[in-house]
């Protein structure tokens, strides 16, 4: 009898481990990882982040309205791990100089303006707020209304003035102008 119980428990443990392994290795991620790259006049930019979905939720808004991302609160610009940006050249990020390198990028959304920051603290999980003493720069950029977007995305474009990095989710568009120094 004891042998049958040990065999039964062993089979159950193997099944549980197999299900967990399947979900981790093969299962659909709720907020898949994304790498976006962009090149412009010798400048290479790479952003690594995770893309959450709206799923019928209020995304940006007041805490009292149960917004997923309340105004005035830290946001890692995605889901899961902290968002990282790599710059191959020295640039002006929304008018402020920043050296080439890799930075943690995060934001504090507001109704009409967002504060976007670059931070030298790397390798932290996204839920944890950064060490603000390691902020390299903070810029304020306007938030605009856009057509509704189900999944968060970071896009790039360019024109005669330089590069535009766009954060787009729900009905919000935030554009950060970037120029090569």
Sketch the domain layout of the chain as residue ranges.
Answer: 1-30, 31-180
- Of the listed ranges 15-29, 41-55, 115-129, the least confidently predicted one is 15-29
Query: If residue 59 lies in a helix (H) or strand (E), which one and from where to where?
Result: none
Query: CA 141, 147, 152, 154 torsion: positive or negative?
Result: negative
User: Model-level pTM greater than 0.85?
Assistant: no
* C-alpha distance from residue 42 to each of 61, 95, 161 (Å): 38, 19, 15
pLDDT recorded at residue 119: 97
Mean pLDDT of 150-167: 96
- If one compares 116 and 29, the residue with the highest pLDDT of the two is 116
Instruction: Give the Cα separation of 142 and 163 in Å (integer).
Output: 16
């Amino acid at each position: 009898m004891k042998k049958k119980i040990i065999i039964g428990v062993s089979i159950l443990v193997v099944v549980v481990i197999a299900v967990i392994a399947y979900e981790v290795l093969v299962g659909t991620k709720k907020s898949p990882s994304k790498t976006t790259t962009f090149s412009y006049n010798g400048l290479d930019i790479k952003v690594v982040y995770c893309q959450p979905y709206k799923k019928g939720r209020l995304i940006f808004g007041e805490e009292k309205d149960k917004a997923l991302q309340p105004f005035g609160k830290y946001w890692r610009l995605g889901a899961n791990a902290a968002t990282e940006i790599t710059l191959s050249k020295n640039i002006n990020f929304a008018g402020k100089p920043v050296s080439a390198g890799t930075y943690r990028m995060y934001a504090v959304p507001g109704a009409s303006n967002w504060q976007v920051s670059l931070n030298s603290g790397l390798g932290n999980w996204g839920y944890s707020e950064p060490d603000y003493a390691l902020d390299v720069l903070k810029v304020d950029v306007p938030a605009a209304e856009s057509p509704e977007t189900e999944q968060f995305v970071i896009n790039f474009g360019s024109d005669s003035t330089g590069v535009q990095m766009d954060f787009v989710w729900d009905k919000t568009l935030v554009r950060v102008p970037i120029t090569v120094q």
